[in-house]
Structure 1
């Protein structure tokens, strides 16, 4: 049980550490509202589930053991982040959150889930996490299936709870987001952060 609490604490720290997922959740919540933010969170959590399934099926191990496959995942993820960053930087369209109708909200929110999903699925660090970190907390002498279930559900629940709380917290500052000056500055910061994360990922040493 002590090992599980250590895993729980470490997973919580990882979830609290800002990354590309957090940037996208922030952007979508401020520009499109809590619903879009929560859809992005759902996409991120779905990505975590996909990584866990891949790890269980052994596909992640194959990717992690192949420099070519690992780099393909890595650079597709880099390209996605750069694309998102440039799209935000080049966008001159601002959203007035007080004047968006429900139908417009649905139109704006459509890509939110997939942004969160791709941001997580195309992150090679997640592959490493599930392949090399989780197994350290599994005891061969105990029920393997139960341990895998607990260690698999924990990151999803922690990420879901934390990002849902985060979405609701930043949802309260949306009234300031209607100001064009704030929107312009925020879009540029978001774009630069995503591109910086992409470059950091691109130049990190792999295996």
Structure 2
């Protein structure tokens, strides 16, 4: 069982560090309003994984993964949200726009909610949890318990990885505080988010 668990942790760790919408969303928030909001966004993303985990253990995620109509609804909503975040980043980076939030003031939208919504509206997580996690679940324990354990591990790994990433951004804040650099990063992040939004919209179940 221990060996199986280590293999599962390795696979989950590899999947966690692959750049995706989560890193783009955290980058946008950390650069626009600081490291604290970046951490809160990461917390929301981890909470989204736990939501999908509960749905998976309850069997509801499998229904979504198998239903073309339900999958399409979540996919369209998720793509629209990523497109919105990308457009928002591009708008903030426009020439003459403020490049940082005023002291003590955050950009619009709660960071924790931003992370949560971006993950809850990602139907690929439902497919991932219902197709891959059962193959990684350790034997010798009830399937529901094994799945719940892997979901919890995935949330912990994701939190640790994104927190470390936010820390690196914070350490490099002297660079990102330069108006030109911040605007450029906002634009790149906006384009990346829009790209992920289009990718989600075009993805098949």
How high is the TM-score relative to the length of structure 1? 0.89
Please tell me whether residue 95 in structure 1 is matched to residue 96 in structure 2: no
Equivalent pair of 1:79/1:198 in contact (CA under 8 Å): yes
Separation in 1, partners of 2:131, 2:21: 21
Corresponding residue for 1:19? 20
Corresponding residue for 1:152? 151
SS in 2 for 1:18: coil
SS in 1 for 2:132: helix
Number of residue pairs the alignment of both structures matches: 201
Equivalent pair of 2:75/2:123 in contact (CA under 8 Å): yes
Q: Give structure 2 stretches of 5+ with no counterpart.
A: none
Deviating 4+ runs (over 6 angstroms): none
Separation in 2, partners of 1:89, 1:138: 41
After the TM superposition, which of the residue ranges 4-13 and 172-181 deviates more from structure 2? 172-181
After the TM superposition, which of the residue ranges 66-75 and 1-10 deviates more from structure 2? 1-10
TM-align CA RMSD:
1.8
Corresponding residue for 2:74? 73
Please tell me whether residue 31 in structure 1 is matched to residue 32 in structure 2: yes
Separation in 1, partners of 2:35, 2:107: 12
Using the TM superposition, give the Cα deviation of residue 178 of structure 1 relative to its aligned residue in structure 2, in angstroms: 2.3
- Going from structure 1 to structure 2, the CA distance change for 1:4 and 1:61 (only over 3 Å counts) comes to same
Q: Give structure 1 stretches of 5+ with no counterpart.
A: none
Q: How does 1:53-68 map to 2 (within 5 A)?
A: 53-68=54-69
